[in-house]
Amino acid sequence: SQKIEQNSEALNIQEGKTATLTCNYTNYSPAYLQWYRQDPGRGPVFLLLIRENEKEKRKERLKVTFDTTLKQSLFHITASQPADSATYLCALGETGANNLFFGTGTRLTVIP
Amino acid sequence: GAGVSQTPSNKVTEKGKYVELRCDPISGHTALYWYRQSLGQGPEFLIYFQGTGAADDSGLPNDRFFAVRPEGSVSTLKIQRTERGDSAVYLCASSHGGQQETQYFGPGTRLLVL
């Protein structure tokens, strides 16, 4: 069966450290992968997109990697801040389809 | 500019009733998506419109769910004979329409079926 698993439901880290979130997928052939941030009571907000032929993407303090052999994406937030506290969702997009398949999310808490 | 808006923000209804949820996408976005998000889960795809037509409705759980987008802008998600299991947050998103496009989400409608 198809599955998208994110490493843990919740992750607590100290301010200033790097947060690393994991997204593993099974029985998908994604053409691209996106990461979204979701705050309580709000819709997801797009952060980064990485395509199947790309290994790494960066945007400010964010970095995403994509390994199609391991079927895994890693999402890093460097120099984390309490304002980074939110739920982070990975989402897969397949060739020929416009809809996204979402993981269950990881709730990140950055402790001051 | 204005983002995606959804109304109502909250809806409480009784089992068996009919509900309509509305989505106003970003102006000029040709693609519109409906997702459903249950507590502690990620959004689950329901239906995708390209313009006025439903390009992919494979995520609709059964025939009690229906969506329209008659003028290629505003969309309405309709749920007939609601069941308690329909309780969730219904999210709408829009995009420019191509593949691999960023999807812009609305705040969602929280539906509670008693």
| Sequential DSSP letters for chain B | ----EEE-SEEEE-TT--EEEEEE--TT--EEEEEEE-TTS--EEEEEEETTEEEE-TT--STTEEEE-TTSS-EEEEE-S--GGG-EEEEEEEE-SSTTPPPEE---EEEEE-
B45 CB within 8 Å of a chain A CB = yes
Q: Can you say whether the dihedral through the CA atoms of B36, B84, B64, B59 is positive or negative?
A: positive
| B114: closest CA of chain A, how far (Å) | 20
Residue of B nearest to A90 (CA): B42
Interface probe with B: pick from A3, A9, A94, A98, most Cβ of B within 10 Å? A98
Residue of A nearest to B102 (CA): A46
pLDDT at residue A25, as a whole number: 96
In chain A, pLDDT over 90 holds for what percent of residues? Answer: 88
Strand bridging mode A106-111 / A10-14:
parallel
Average per-residue pLDDT in chain A? 94
Question: Taking the C-alpha atoms of A20, A44, A71 and A81 in order, what is their torsion angle to the nearest 10 degrees?
Answer: -10
How many A×B Cβ pairs under 8 Å?
Answer: 64
Mark which residues 51-80 of B lie under 8 Å from A by CB. Answer: 55-56, 59
Q: Looking at residue B16, what DSSP letter applies?
A: T
In chain A, pLDDT over 70 holds for what percent of residues? Answer: 100
Tens of pLDDT along A49-71? Answer: 999 999 999 999 999 999 999 99
Q: Residue B99: which of A42, A98, A105 has the nearest Cβ? A: A98
**How much of chain B is helix, strand and coil, in % rounded to 5?**
5, 50, 50
Task: Give B1's pLDDT tier (boundaries 50, 70, 90).
Answer: low
Tens of pLDDT along B86-104? Answer: 999 999 999 987 777 889 9
What mean pLDDT do residues B23-41 have? Answer: 95
Answer yes or no: is pLDDT of A82 > 80. Answer: yes
Closest CA to B37 of B113, B114, B110: B110
State the Cα–Cα distance between residues B84 and B43, nearest whole angstrom.
18
Q: Which residues pair with A60 in a beta bridge?
A: none
Least confident of A5-9, A14-18, B42-46: A5-9
Task: Give B2's pLDDT tier (boundaries 50, 70, 90).
Answer: confident
3-state secondary structure of A52: coil
What mean pLDDT do residues B68-73 have? Answer: 94
pLDDT at residue B73, as a whole number: 95
Task: Give A92's pLDDT tier (boundaries 50, 70, 90).
Answer: very high
Answer yes or no: is pLDDT of B42 > 90. Answer: yes
State the Cα–Cα distance between residues B41 and B23, nearest whole angstrom.
21
B100 CB within 8 Å of a chain A CB = yes
State the Cα–Cα distance between residues A36 and A86, nearest whole angstrom.
10
